[in-house]
Structure 1
Amino acid sequence: MTALSLVIRPERPEDAPAIARLQARAFGPGRFARTAYRLREGAAERMDLGVTAWVGSFLVGSVRMGPVRTGATPFVMLGPLAVDPSFEGRGIGGTLTRAVIEAARQAGDGLVILVGDAPYYRRFGFSPVPPGRLTLPGPVDPVRLLWLDLEGGFSDRVSGPVEAVRAGAEATSG
């Protein structure tokens, strides 16, 4: 029997049911209570930035980006990043993270934020948002609110409450 190889490709609309099942396996029901999830709920998705990882016909990883803004300044929020528990520790999450950051850079987005583990995301260039600079619509451990400036100095223009760009609203930044 030959080993199946990992295929990384852009997300497609028909991937949505498999992504929902993957997120349920990876995060469980507790995901609905998290602030990052609540921010994304009902929000638009940047389909041009989503990336998936497949082994054969089995989805093993997914990462999405959603449009957010502070005031009139748009940028993107990374997440959720999900890897099937049986495939963790194989570098899939890192591969997906690099791919989605590069997609955002190529699309002309100036800033990526996320709520996540600083030691993990530091290797991709993320750093903690200065205290009080951004607020999310719910509690977030400040050391887990991270950003990555894709356009030098973009983060200097960003402060205040972060809100999702809702589905049907302008969903591109740049």
Structure 2
Amino acid sequence: MFTLSRETDEDWWEVEALYDLCFAPGRTALSSYRLRDDVPPVPELCLVARDEARRLGGAIRYWPVRVGAAEVLLLGPVAVHPTAQGEGLGAALIQGSLERARGRWSRVLLVGDAPYYARFGFERSGEIEMPPPTNPERVLTLALEPGAWDGIAGLVEKAR
């Protein structure tokens, strides 16, 4: 049994170690990380999942970005410890954080696997362009309120 809670400063290094474990060593070289440089995450949406013994099972973070004048949430990274994979923890982190985002944010963007994220309502967007070398087929969007992505197109940029 895992409990979701807001990530704290004390969680930071352990979450970073989880991301290192789950992703390639060069993860911070990805273009999505350039959008995060010197920009604080959205703290109320950064969650950790811990079991009864307080062991970290998963984590999710969000960052503010812009597409033109529009404020957008960039979901990621999200990771689940290999010993907890296949138990629905990734889905719980995504759903729990999206519920927290509703009413405060209108739109979410991520770079990921469309078949996995489609079950949460994400879909491919040919109108939104991540900085290279991102594969455009992996750029996915979700409207948290009807029409939130209408008329929004262009390059994703760092939050100001």
Report the Cα distance in structure 2 between the residues aligned to 1:50 and 1:145, rounded to whole angstroms: 21
Residue 52 of structure 2 corresponds to residue 53 of structure 1:
no
Moved over 6 A (4+): none
TM score, norm. by length of structure 1:
0.85
Q: Deviations over 1:111-164 (max 9, x none)?
A: 0000000000000000001x2x12222222122100000111110132111112
TM score, norm. by length of structure 2:
0.93
Root-mean-square deviation (Å): 1.4
Q: Could you tell me how far 1:71 is from its partner in structure 2?
A: 2.3
Residue 17 of structure 2 corresponds to residue 21 of structure 1:
yes
User: SS state of the match for residue 131, structure 2?
Assistant: coil
Count of residues in Structure 1 that have an aligned counterpart in Structure 2: 159
Report the Cα distance in structure 2 between the residues aligned to 1:41 and 1:26, rounded to whole angstroms: 21
Describe how 1:1-174 pairs up with structure 2 within 5 A.
5-55=1-51, 56-106=53-103, 108-129=104-125, 131=126, 133-165=127-159
Q: Could you tell me how far 1:11 is from its partner in structure 2?
A: 1.6
User: SS state of the match for residue 45, structure 2?
Assistant: coil
Give the gaps of 5 or more residues in structure 1: 170-174
AA aligned opposite 1:74: E
